Each structure stands twice: as C-alpha cells, then as structure tokens.
Amino acid sequence: MKNRNTDIIVGGLFLCLTIAFITVSMTYRPFFDWVFERHHNQWSWYVRPLFLLPFCYFAYKKSFTGMMISIFALFTSMFWFPKPEIVSENVMGFLAFEKDYLYGDWNLSKLLLTLTIPLSFLALGLAFWKRSLLIGIGVVVLMATGKIVWSIQNAGESGKSILIPAIVGLLLCCGLMYYGFKRLEKNK
C-alpha cells in the first residue's frame, strides 16, 4: 500500500510539472517563443513519439509515476535540442501556424479538439494497463493519423512537413510496442 501511495504522489508531482510547463508556455510568451525556437530542430519531432514507448511500458507495469514522467519528458523534449541554424520553409511555416493556432482565439470546438490529447493518452494508458496490445496500437495509429490529418488540413502544404517524422515515429512505435509487449508477456 505504501508503494502505491508513493507512486500516486510522485506521479501526481510530474503531472503537476507537466501542467505547469503547459501553463507557463501558454501564459508567458517569451518562454513559449524560446521553446518553439528549439522545436524548429526536427530531432525533437523524431524523438517525441518515442516517449510513447516508456509510457506504454509503465502503463503495462501499472506505474503511474513512470507514465507521468514519460508525458513530462514528451512535452519538454520540444526544447531539448539547440535552435537549428537552418530550417526549411515548410517547417517554419508549419510551426508559425501552430504558434498562431495556440495563441489564437479559443472556442468550444478548439477546446474539444485539444481535449483529444489527454483523452488519447488516457486511452493508450488504459489499453496497456489492461494488457491490450491491439487496442494500444490502434490508439497510437489514431493519434498519429489525427495529427497528420489535422496538420495538413489546417496548415496546408507546410503541414506536410510532419509526414516523415510522424510516419517514422508511428512505424517505430508500433514495431517496438509489439516486440516489447510480446517479450513482457513471454516473461510473465
């Protein structure tokens, strides 16, 4: 019981840190701009989906702390890489669109669309918590597909800049999830 309480407390701390990161980003424009300058480095685009792997592993192991640390790492990885010296026009255009979108007017449809992010993580976590590889992979496919469709539909040509990182991330995640899940199930 003590370990479970510690798991909830430490996991809750990382959940609060994630919420604080998002809140500071959305309310303090200089910090947001600093983060987005580094997010122009496409390495962060390739790294971010890989944090779904430890998230799924810790959901499988029923570790709330591990899941929340993974989410915190996923969000903060936007600024782990240095600001790139050269950025393609499509990347600059897409990230300019995202910045405008995030700092633009918020309405009910935008709020509901944004709620799909935590709901997706909840569904992914539940899938692996309940040991369902098929549902877990299905959720990851829906997450990636949703991001791709939203990006292209709303940002046009520049939205296509996420295609390669999203598809590579999706394929790697699905393959490694399958491999890891089968290994965990075999070792039970």
The predicted model gives 73-99 an average pLDDT of 88
Answer whether residue 188 shows pLDDT above 80.
no
**Model pLDDT, residue 1:** 53
Answer whether residue 2 shows pLDDT above 70.
no
Answer whether residue 96 shows pLDDT above 90.
no
User: Could you state, in order of their start, the residue ranges of all structural domains in the chain?
Assistant: 2-186
- Banded model confidence at residue 88, pLDDT cuts 50, 70, 90: confident
Tell me what percent of the residues of the chain surpass a pLDDT of 70. Answer: 99
Select from 18, 147, 50 the least CA-distant residue to 94.
Answer: 147
Select from 66, 48, 56, 45 the least CA-distant residue to 178.
Answer: 56
* Tokens matching residue 152: 């292209």
Report the C-alpha gap between 19 and 24 in whole angstroms.
9
pLDDT tens-digit series, residues 102-118: 888 899 989 999 999 99
pLDDT tens-digit series, residues 148-166: 999 999 888 888 888 899 9
The predicted model gives 137-155 an average pLDDT of 93
Answer whether residue 70 shows pLDDT above 90.
yes
Q: Write out the chain in H/E/C secondary structure.
A: CHHHHHHHHHHHHHHHHHHHHHHHHHHCHHHHHHHHHHHCCCHHHHHHHHHHHHHHHHHHCCCHHHHHHHHHHHHHHHHCCCCCCCCCHHHHHHHHHHHHHHHCCCCHHHHHHHHHHHHHHHHHHHHHHCCCHHHHHHHHHHHHHHHHHHHHHHHHHHHHHHHHHHHHHHHHHHHHHHHHHHHHHHCC
Answer whether residue 130 shows pLDDT above 60.
yes
* Tokens matching residue 46: 């390739």
